[in-house]
Structure 1
């Protein structure tokens, strides 16, 4: 799969990174891709993985696939974190050690902070 122009960027702007990691599904996508031994992944594999994750809203496979195709994968491609071939339904991850470190840190923070709905019940 050829990398599109956006995927060849050497660095990712901090504002882009903050916007990307602000979305839980994009964090799951990047965490999965960065922990996978293969740099290529099918959209079907991503959908299956995301459905196993505990998210705020349950989405059907069709809804999740559409959201990946129209929202998440293009945004991640635009900032150079992956290459997405919509026709072949394949994703190629671009390794970013600093981003992976940030994702790990954000994951540890989200695990240690109770959810807002749980905090509301304590009041």
Structure 2
């Protein structure tokens, strides 16, 4: 569903984009539309190699459950079914993709080459 970013408070969207993990999650979901926690953990660990020395699957999983997914749910861009561990992109803001494209230019070059 395409919507405008005006439906969501801009400050909240920008706060969400301060985390490279949340930016990576959104890039992946815009491409795939839906994923599972396990698939997302593997993809984030792969993207994070060489960028985050302390990255572990357990750490990423915990971070997703307690930090990143709730923030993305709060701004209304994803639906997260914790029982099925399924994540679905439910809102698509053209302006959000523009913001992600801009932030992608600032990502680590290795990460840039792996993002959709």
Q: How does the TM-score come out when normalised to structure 2?
A: 0.79
Supply the distance in 1 between the matched residues of 2:76 and 2:55 (Cα, whole angstroms): 26
Structure-2 residue corresponding to 1:40:
34
Displacement of 1:58: 2.8
**Of 57, 64, 69, the match for 1:73:** 69
Query: RCO (CA 8 Å, sep 6+): is it higher in 1 or 2?
Result: 2
Aligned residues: 102
Structure-1 residue corresponding to 2:47:
53
Displacement of 1:111: 5.3
**Of 31, 41, 58, the match for 1:62:** 58
Question: Which stretches of structure 1, 4 residues or more, deviate above 3 A after TM superposition?
Answer: 109-112
**Of 102, 105, 108, the match for 1:105:** 102
Larger Rg: 1
> Structure 1: which 5+ runs fail to align?
1-9, 113-123
RMSD of aligned alpha carbons:
1.9
Other structure's SS at 2:25 match: helix
